[in-house]
Amino acid sequence: MRLLVVTLALVACSCGPSTQAENAVPEYSYQVIHTYPHDRGAFTEGLFYENGFLYESTGLNLQSTLRKVKLETGEVVQKFDWPEAYFGEGIVKWHDQIYQLSYKNQIGFVFDFATFAKKGEFQYQGQGWAFTTDGKQIYMDGSRDVQAAQSDAEIRILDPATLKETATINVTADGVPVKNLNELEWVKGEIYANIWQTYKIARIDPKSGKVVGWIDLTGILSSQDQQGTNELNGIAYDAAGDRLFVTGKNWPKLFEIKLVKSAR
């Protein structure tokens, strides 16, 4: 009996750490593949890549814009300047249109993709922070409380035709709600989300809402480049070229990166 008890205890001890390691959320670092110039004056709030160009939304009152930018040079080749009252946020392309959120106005705008001509408006509850799409649905984050100091731990699913909410994804990591989801990007069946005021990106399973990976971009900006900058906030993915780009608010550079799994 004494031998049986000892054996069971050893089995329990040996299985515990292994099971915990298997359940832990994988962590990733990065390798910089290429560095591109980025406008230091761009308070980046939304970003996506399309046919050799970056499409970027910038925020702040009197500075909010929708831009088309040459990837290689950072040159702004097309721009829409927002009216004074609006603070630009996330953007997404849907067919021949661009949808763009505003911060606390609870109003979004519809633009012609080719000309940036304004075509309409839409409404939503609370704050608008970010948009992305899987080609079938649109995903949005923000807060349902317009005065909240952080975003909710959820991603809304919208009908692309009406921009009405159809469902929500509750985002968790190890069972804990993950708040402050910021700029979004659809990458290989996952939603990548900047975590506001950090150098981290969450890789989210859209079916379960669980974080399936953490990307830590600490150190990607040199101490010299960090002067006058704000947080990481901008993810774009080139699906055809399998290229991942990241930047931030008032960053002087945009980086093409490759993920590297961190050793535990």
Domain range for 80 is: 26-261
Average pLDDT score over residue span 72-97? 94
pLDDT tens digits along 36-71: 999 999 999 999 999 999 999 999 988 999 999 999
For the ranges 78-87, 167-176, 196-205, 223-232, the lowest mean pLDDT is seen at: 223-232
pLDDT tens digits along 140-194: 999 999 999 889 999 999 999 999 999 999 999 999 999 999 999 999 999 999 9
Contact assessment for residue 137 and residue 96, using Cβ atoms and an 8 Å cutoff: no
pTM for this model (two decimals): 0.90
Closest Cα partner for 225 from 6, 32, 94? 32
Contact assessment for residue 107 and residue 128, using Cβ atoms and an 8 Å cutoff: no
Average pLDDT score over residue span 7-29? 55
At residue 23 the predicted structure's pLDDT band, cuts being 50, 70 and 90, is low
pLDDT tens digits along 92-145: 999 999 999 999 999 999 999 999 999 999 999 999 999 999 999 999 999 999
Q: Which residues contact 194 (CB under 8 A, 6 or more apart)?
A: 181, 182, 183, 200, 201, 231, 232, 233, 234, 235
What is the per-residue pLDDT for 141? 94
Residue 16 lies in a domain: no
Domain at 81, CATH number? 2.130.10.10
Average pLDDT score over residue span 76-94? 94
Average pLDDT score over residue span 219-223? 90
At residue 83 the predicted structure's pLDDT band, cuts being 50, 70 and 90, is confident
- DSSP string spanning 114-138? TT--EEEEEE-SSEEEEEEE-SS-E
Contact assessment for residue 150 and residue 179, using Cβ atoms and an 8 Å cutoff: yes
CA distance 48 to 68: 10
- Give the chain's domain count: 1
Q: Per-residue pLDDT for 202 more than 70?
A: yes
At residue 250 the predicted structure's pLDDT band, cuts being 50, 70 and 90, is very high
For the chain, percent of residues with pLDDT exceeding 70: 91
Residue 256 lies in a domain: yes
Q: With b meaning 16 or more CB within 10 Å and e meaning fewer, what string describes 5-28?
A: eeeeeeeeeeeeeeeeeeeeeeeb
Mean pLDDT of the chain: 90
Closest Cα partner for 172 from 154, 150, 190? 154
Average pLDDT score over residue span 223-237? 89
What is the per-residue pLDDT for 13? 43
What is the per-residue pLDDT for 189? 97
More confident residue, 233 or 12: 233
What is the per-residue pLDDT for 263? 72
